[in-house]
Amino acid sequence: MRRITGWSAMFAALVLPSTISLFGAPATPPTYAKQVSRIVETHCTACHHSGGVAPFSLTNYDEVSAFATEIRRATQSRKMPPWFAVPGHGEFQNQRQLTVEEIKTLGDWSDSGTPLGDTKDLPPPSVRDAGWAYGQPDVILTPKKPYQVARSGGEDVRCFVTPYSFSGSKAIRAIDVRPGDPGVVYHVRAFADTTGSARRLEAQDSESGFDCSQNMESVLTQKLLGEWEVGNTFAPLPDGLGRSLPKGADIVLEIHYHRTFRPASDQTKVAFYFQHQPVRHDVRTVTIIHRDLRIPPGKADYQAVAEWTSTKNILALGVTPHMHRQGTAVRVSASAPGEPPRDLLWVNRYNFRWQTAYMFKEPILIRKGTTVRVEASYDNSNQNMNLDPREPLHEVLWGNGPQDEMLAVFLEYVEAKGSARPRRVQ
């Protein structure tokens, strides 16, 4: 397995600045106007705004200063912003970590009494909702009718078949999302379904869409067209690459909801951007699965392994791990014949509420015969705070429902063309 550095120009550089070592307190304390407002706008307000998925807003001085202590604690513990990959085990273009310097700035500002500073130093007002992320979309799709999110707690995963009338096949380079209710929508995937199974499932459901969690097989057989996460940005695919939308396929929107004990009606809009130049590489997805899960009640360190061996040379673009409430950690590595394993991703504090796709900073060459190994950990004991204490512990098996568990890793790739063997990157 080797990394091709020449492909780095394919993707936008979204990684935050390098970590900087700091010594001692600053001579002049940071101010909200000059430093803090910019850090918060860049890393926090995508979720923390009025009507957003976060529990409070952080869009002005009064709001940020009121939560200065909480911000200090959450950033120094790296609880926020949510990012779960262990440093040094893969590099990712959509990484959303604060630098050491930014964390120190927020702490110094809180400790010095949250000074406002000169309002002339404030950045321009946010234009968050001024338009779509990548300009005018080629098409905007939405569920046929609003979905009523239950007034309760927990999670809800719903799939919707969208009506469209495209002529011929298309290649998708990006999607963008405008939640109908930003307070409950936190993750959206778009799929192409050529089997008609999603359409049949929707017709059988009396509500808008159908329950994805009870019909996960329909998702696992579909082709991923793109995804969106609250607070995370994915660069559009470069020229020459696209996720194919076959002629006659249904577009299915998989929308993840946080139930918030309030009535909510959602009709999310999803923008699609096509590749208008010839596509040389079709972006595909392989699902690495372990179905034989039998997690005993009270077991705090259950381990499971899944493997997949490539039958051809491919360029890996990113990985998305998927587990449920018992999942605590997942590690993905690749072992080429005759070479030691190399980590692609290590998440040591998995959080099922943040279904994150980890897109590599540069595509990674995985040669034919390379085995991609997934090692996952689960906690089915009373110490797992994700479990409902009102429910008795029980043996947990593979399944789609919230009381079940899964192990699936989605690996996105394109076929590697040519026979040249690039030098191994250490």
Domain of residue 245, CATH code: 2.60.120.310
Domain that holds residue 182: 139-280
Q: Does pLDDT of 75 surpass 80?
A: yes
Residues 62 and 143 in one domain: no
- For residue range 323-358, list pLDDT tens digits in order: 999 999 999 999 998 889 999 999 999 998 888 899
Q: Which of 89, 121, 153 is the last residue of a domain?
A: 121
Residue 126 lies in a domain: no
pLDDT (0 to 100) of residue 106: 96
Tell me, yes or no, whether 227 and 360 share the same domain. no
User: Poorest-confidence range of 3-12, 86-95, 148-157?
Assistant: 3-12
Select from 81, 78, 176 the least CA-distant residue to 128: 176
Same structural domain, 112 and 165: no
pLDDT (average), residues 223-230? 88
**Same-domain status, 252 and 342:** no
The answer to whether residue 424 sits within a structural domain is no
Is 263 a residue whose pLDDT tops 80?
Answer: yes
Beta bridge partners of 245: 170
Any domain includes 330: yes
* Burial status of residue 176 (CB atoms within 10 A of its CB: 0-12, 13-18, 19 or more): buried
The answer to the question of residue 379 being in a domain is yes
Read off the pLDDT of each residue in 110-122 and give the average, rounded to a whole number.
94
Whether residue 357 contacts residue 234, with contact meaning beta carbons closer than 8 Å, is answered with: yes
Pairing of strands 241-245, 281-282: parallel
User: Does residue 275 contact residue 400 with C-beta atoms inside 8 Å?
Assistant: no
Which CATH number do you get for residue 355? 2.60.120.230
Identify whether residues 145 and 257 lie together within a single domain: yes
* Total domain count, the chain: 3
- Judged by average pLDDT, the poorest of 86-95, 291-300, 302-311 is 86-95
Of 121, 152, 175, at which residue does a domain stop?
A: 121
Residue pLDDT, tens place only, 146-196: 999 998 877 888 999 998 877 788 999 999 999 999 888 988 999 999 888
Given this model, what pLDDT does residue 164 score?
A: 80
pLDDT of residue 177: 92
150-155 long-range contacts, CB within 8 A, separation 24+: 150/259, 151/259, 151/261, 151/262, 151/263, 151/264, 152/259, 152/261, 153/259, 153/260, 153/261, 154/259, 154/402, 155/256, 155/257, 155/258, 155/259, 155/352, 155/353, 155/402
Residues 253 and 145 in one domain: yes
Would you say residue 53 has pLDDT above 90?
Answer: no
Sheet of 302-309: strand order equals 302-309, 371-378, 327-335, 342-347
Task: Kindly state the percentage of the chain with pLDDT values over 70.
Answer: 88
Q: Are 53 and 152 part of one and the same domain?
A: no
Residues 234 and 314 in one domain: no
User: Same domain, yes or no, for 345 and 384?
Assistant: yes
Domain-located, residue 10: yes
Is 422 a member of any domain? no
Q: Which helix (DSSP H) or strand (DSSP E) does residue 252 occupy? A: strand 250-258
Q: What is the mean pLDDT of residues 111-133?
A: 83
Give the residue, 292 or 400, on which the prediction is more confident. 292
Cα R_g (the chain), whole angstroms? 22
Amino acid (1-letter code) at residue 353: R
Q: What is the pLDDT of residues 233-252, one digit of tens each?
A: 778 998 999 999 998 899 99
Indicate if 293 and 275 belong to the same structural domain: no
Q: pLDDT tens, 372-395?
A: 999 999 999 999 999 988 889 999
